[in-house]
Amino acid sequence: MRIGQGMDVHAFADDPDRPLVLGGVILPEGPGLTGHSDADVVLHALTDALLGAAALGDLGTIFGTDDPRYAGAPSSAFVGEAMRRVTSAGWRLVSADCTVVAQRPRIGPYRTRITDAVHHILDVDPGTISVKSTSTDGLGTIGRGEGIACLSVVLLERPTA
């Protein structure tokens, strides 16, 4: 078995029309987050956790911000490719736990949709992915509503023959 962790944070964009994407779900509240891709902190943290658990690198090394192919790209492509690499290396995802840290928006009303979307993107059984949220109770840049962070941890195992 192997454990991996990932963390990502992005500031809110100045562009009020930039969509806010979390876990592959476009939330009606905005603005979105700044970043080279769609800046989906949930999928970025999950991508790093998957790659880290299998010792296969990290998001920035594989999908660098200097590569124009990834400008505006959906993060579902990153986590999907990470999952493909993890599976090709002989690992199976046992579970993933993602904690969104945000003062705004409130994540609770969207948690089920986000969790279902991540299950679908990774093509894993329901119950494999957990998404929850917390705030910093007004402390720091996240608490001032300047951005959103996500922490993710995954457990991989090598299936027995």
Q: Taking 90 as the threshold, does the pLDDT of residue 30 lie above it?
A: no
Dmax (CA) of the chain: 52
Instruction: Count the neighbouring beta carbons within 10 Å of the beta carbon of residue 133.
Output: 19
Indicate the class that CATH gives domain 2-157: alpha beta
pTM exceeds 0.85 for this model: yes
Specify the pairing of strand 129-134 against strand 25-27.
unpaired
* Pairwise CA distance, residues 126 & 123, whole Å: 9
**What is the reported pLDDT for 44?**
97
Taking only the tens place, the pLDDT of each residue in 55-91 is 999 998 888 777 777 777 889 999 999 999 999 999 9
- Res. 161: pLDDT tops 70: no
Query: Any idea where the domains of the chain sit in the sequence?
Result: 2-157
Paired sense of beta strands 20-22 and 25-27, if any: antiparallel
The pLDDT value given to residue 80 = 95
Residue 22: burial class (beta carbons within 10 Å; 0-12, 13-18, 19+): buried
In tens, the pLDDT along 127-154 reads 999 999 999 999 999 999 999 999 999 9
Name the percent of the chain lying above pLDDT 70.
99
Residue 42 pLDDT > 70: yes
* Cβ-contact 145, 12 below 8 angstroms: yes
Sign of CA dihedral 104, 52, 90, 160: negative
Question: Among 28-32, 48-52, 142-146, 148-152, whose mean pLDDT is lowest?
Answer: 28-32
Q: How far apart are CA 105 and CA 29, in angstroms?
A: 7
> What's the one-letter identity of residue 38?
D
User: Average pLDDT over the chain, rounded to whole?
Assistant: 94
